[in-house]
Structure 1
Amino acid sequence: MPHPTLTPATDADHDTMRAQLGRPMRGVVGIAARCVCGNPTVVATEPRLPDGTPFPTFYYLTHPGATAAMSALEATQVMRELTELLEGDEDVASQYASAHAAYLSDRAVHGEVPEIEGISAGGMPTRVKCLHALAAHSLAAGPGVNPIGDLALARGTWSPERCTCAEPREATG
């Protein structure tokens, strides 16, 4: 499976992410998904941050609308429900294990970090822990790669097909 294409993060992207998160992003290697207006939605980060900290979350959700939608889902019983689906459906479990392997492969392109070897994000490959990370992976990799991330995006109130950014700007890349 090919790795998702990252676009370089521009100064404007860094400014947008700072506004989205309320702080600067660390260890940015590129933008993995963008809003239809061009703003960053998912950033790809180094597996070892500039200060030396191991960082397993390669795909990081930055878009406020997407983040709020995943937080709202996490406040319900959906994570328990998705974990039960994972435990009870061999096909979903197999796809989720493949998503875990794809995530690790995508991150490995940017360096191997022994402290996080075999650790991806969001609870993969055996549980559902963080919908933000799983949705970020789905947005970066595209539909059909991460079944739980796809389900989270489908159940959320935010859509990658509709801009909800406060200050849209021209799409790049």
Structure 2
Amino acid sequence: MSTNPDAPAAPGVSAADRDAMAAQLGRVPRGAREVAHRCPCGLPSVVQTAPRLPDGTPFPTLYYLTCSRLSSKLGTVESQGRMAEMTERLAEDPELAARYTAAHESYLAERNAIESLGTEVSAGGMPDRVKCLHVHVAHSLAAGPGVNPFGDEALDEVGQWWGPGPCATP
């Protein structure tokens, strides 16, 4: 694991949270601004990242999933082809497509309030396709239920991911 114990924690991220996320990810998270959601065990599960990494590289993914246990469960769901099914449903269900577009617009507005990247690219394939369930679940956990329909759906599918005990030991 590449962690620098002497590196200062990012504003809004404690040293303990940085260490926990490094244990979860196997590396120090890049561009961390704040913990956006915590697992019931108390460890971070989602980090809000800066729209630009410290070196200036654009990073459009505002919410990044850190919980390794949830990430693994979502990888299983992704491997079953769920994203293609969800994308097909966008073409068939105008109400779902409208809710997904609203999630995209909400994501952009929140990111642009921090720093505009001058792009309409949000994350996870929004608003036209479903590309990454990890991003959608991170958005759902950070924003709360009812904002990202595919994040909510994927969370329902994986069920309780946090037990027993934490996913990592900082």
* Structure 2: stretches of 5+ with no match in the other structure: 1-10
Counterpart for residue 49 of structure 2: 45
8 Å contact kept, 1:122–1:129:
yes
Tell me, yes or no, if structure 1 residue 84 matches structure 2 residue 85: no
1:12 to partner: Cα distance: 0.3
Letter in 1 for 2:132: C
TM-score, structure 2 as length reference: 0.88
Cα deviation, 1:92-145, whole Å, max 9, x if unaligned, reads 10000000000011111211123xx11110100010000000110011111100
Q: How far off its partner does 1:9 sit? A: 1.4
2:141 is matched with which residue?
A: 139
Q: What SS does the aligned partner of 2:114 have?
A: coil
Which amino acid is 1:133 matched to? Answer: V
Structure 1 equivalent of residue 35 of structure 2? 31
Task: Report percent identity of matched pairs.
Answer: 48
Question: 1:96 is matched with which residue?
Answer: 100
Report the alpha carbon displacement of residue 167 of structure 1 after superposing the two structures with TM. 5.6
Written as runs of structure 1 = structure 2, the 5 A alignment for 1:60-139 is: 60-114=64-118, 117-139=119-141
Check whether the contact 1:86–1:92 (CA below 8 A) recurs between aligned residues.
yes
Q: Distance in 2 between matches of 1:168 and 1:133?
A: 23
Instruction: Measure the CA separation in 1 of the matches of 2:93 and 2:160.
Output: 26
Q: 1:166 to 1:74 in 2, by over 3 A?
A: closer
1:8 Cα offset (Å): 2.5
**In structure 2, what is the Cα distance between the partners aligned to 1:37 and 1:168?**
11
**1:17 match:** 21
Give the letter aligned to residue 95 of structure 1.
R
Tell me the distance in 1 between the aligned counterparts of 2:31 and 2:18. Answer: 11
